Chain A
Amino acid sequence: MYRYDQYDQAMVDARVEEFRDQARRRLEGKLTEDQFKPLRLMNGLYLQLHAYMLRVAIPYGTLDARQLEMLADIADKYDRGYGHFTTRQNIQYNWIKLDDCADALADLATVEMHAIQTSGNCIRNISSDHFAGAAADEVVDPRPYAELMRQWSSFHPEFTYLPRKFKIAVIASEKDRAAMRLHDIGVRIVQRDGAIGAEFYAGGGMGRTPMIAPLIRDFVPIDQFITYAEACLRVYNRYGRRDNKYKARIKILVHELGAAEYIRQVEEEFAHMLSVGVEPPREELERIKAFFAPPPFVSSEVETQSLSTMLEANGGQGSAFGQWVRRNTHAHKAPGYVSAVISLKPAGGIPGDATSEQMRVVARLAREYSFDELRVMHTQNLLLPHVAIADLPAVWQALDAAGLGAANMDTIEDIIACPGLDYCSLANARSIPLAQRISERFAETGRTEVVGELKLKISGCINACGHHHAGHIGILGVDKKGTENYQLSLGGSEAEDVSLAKITGPGFDEDGVIAAVEKVTDVYLASRAEGERFLDTYRRIGMEPFKEALYG
């Protein structure tokens, strides 16, 4: 994985000192809170309902054991012994003191980590496919391109006071495991006639006005990659709306101009930028790529084991271990290996939370069984990207002992939920207790396994941090005359078959929405054809049968 050189390290160290100085000037009264706010946001410090929250970047979701151990130490030292992994491959600490923040950032810098631009109206942490570097179906590893963007977007002098926040995802497979088209800019690295280039999508997003990003260029030659991104950002910085914060995201600009006009403006700026020469030297991408060379996989057939042989020797498909292997492992490009998902969604638990002890267990497993590599998934889970099939029993036993063995990836228990009213000052309703009750209920009744793949996503307000627009089932918490009310929606997807969910009708109270989720799964089970997921059945039969069951 990528390693800082003296330059990267000096940049992060300089940032820590800059923030220390800003905090000092704030305390001395030289900065007003209004002036300080964007500065602390750009260092990941966000004021929530009860305390400051610190959001630490995990660029393109990749980290090693030493880094995860530091995240655990920070949870113990400055927070309450746990952290919360987010939908954009970051980690949040919910109980940070302002006075401790610079020290926490300095600790992070010792392991090549930071909280730079994890909030604020700037280019945020670049996210990627969590299976990058491991997936059997990728064209190339997308992370070198994401790292190139990380450097370009860090402390960008022109794009630090954008109209609104700006999120970029970079993937390199037909399959989309990063909600790429629901980002301000989505990039898919592609190969055409043997040459690598980038497909660009712009103007996607969730929030109160969800939009799927249209394709704006089908091939940007890779040696013009940064230049094209710069052109996209400049058009947005100049013409994105600044009169209304709710209409300031690039999706509104692209929508109001029309994709064709936005494309025309970007192309004009792009042609100009090419003449200016902003692209990093070609050798830089090659330098970065070398860091992402595949680990030394054991490739001889004698030493690699097939999944079925290994399962047979370990209790078979039906055992708890067998179910975990079937649910939580993903095909790997190297024979004899899989990627193993570590669920942070125990039934009845808080989605995405991990204790410092759990983080240390995972770090140890990464070191022992996954070439010292880990990933944070946008589904708020962790991942061991490169596990030899023969090692799976040992990995699972250790996970299970640490309360991390839930076999529920992509099931209804694998809920994405925002922090909601338990933490967030923007929220209208609680998300976490609802997620806990739903996963508990489906686990108890044994429904989870019967229903199979079903992505349920919960947001506690219309800002949609819980991705409810993209849920096969989405739940949106609203405030209805002072009481929490939940709107149900169906048919969303953040994947390559991207779509936005539609609202079923009037909302429900907390008990009511849990019953409603069960009812829509009843409709699915009664109507599904062979091999259909919930989403497929919904798309085939439409909203009516579900409405009928809910309100009829």
Chain B
Amino acid sequence: MGNARDLGTSPDEVQFRFRDDEPVDHAAVTVDSCCDQTNATAVRIEPGDDARVLLPFLDRLALVEVNFPVFGDGRGYSAARILREAGYTGELRAVGDVLIDQLSHMRRCGFDSFAPDKRLDEEDAMRAFATWENVYQRAADARRTIADKRHEA
């Protein structure tokens, strides 16, 4: 049990944000606490957490942080899509070991803000976000896929 105030990232730590609303500026709680506390509006998901336990509370959440303690642990990508598929429209922030070469996939899975442990080179990051002009799969970003484009009337 850490100090609740230590949990989560502050707006200052967010390097990239693709939303216009005001960011939440208070600490996040753990998934367990979120289920117990009816007033929590920010929560942090760890790789082992089941994102689906948050589904009943999506209406009151304004920020979900998904932590990537190591970039190679890809569970957070599924967590993000699950939340978006369930209709979550609040901020979805990738935090932790977030690197240039994961940005475009994270974006596709529904992340709309990024707070990397180590600040990323802006130019490299912008290039990375724009890597894929087209995409093969349907995902959380609702982009029209290559197959959709091939067969549009």
Contacts and interface: CB of A to CB of B under 8 A. Distances in A.
A194 interface: no
Contacts of B102: 161
Given A21-B124, A156-B137, 10 more contacts: A7-B146, A7-B150, A10-B133, A14-B131, A155-B136, A161-B73, A234-B78, A242-B47, A277-B138, A283-B151
Contacts of A25: 100, 124
13 contacts: A7-B149, A25-B124, A30-B121, A152-B136, A154-B136, A155-B135, A157-B105, A157-B137, A161-B72, A237-B74, A283-B151, A284-B147, A284-B150
A192 interface: no
A159 B131 contact: no
Nearest to A275: B85
A238 interface: yes
Interface string B120-131: 010010010001
Nearest to A288: B147
Contact of A157 (B77, B100, B147): B77
A18 B151 contact: no
Q: Which 5 A-B pairs have the closest CB atoms?
A: A161-B74, A157-B108, A157-B105, A284-B147, A280-B147
Tell which of B78, B132, B147 has the most Cβ of chain A within 10 Å: B147
A161 B150 contact: no
A5 interface: yes
Interface residues of A, number: 41
A280 B145 contact: yes
Nearest to B51: A238
Given A151-B136, A283-B151, A161 B71 contact: yes
B72 A121 contact: yes
B109 A35 contact: no
Interface string A20-31: 011001000011
Contacts of A158: 74, 77-78, 81, 105, 109, 139
Interface in B105-126: 105-106, 108-109, 121, 124
A151 B81 CA distance: 20
B146 A151 contact: yes
Interface in A158-172: 158-163
A262 B124 CA distance: 40
Contact of A35 (B71, B77, B124, B131): B71
A42 to B, nearest CB: 9
A238 B151 contact: no
Contacts of B127: 21
A38 interface: yes
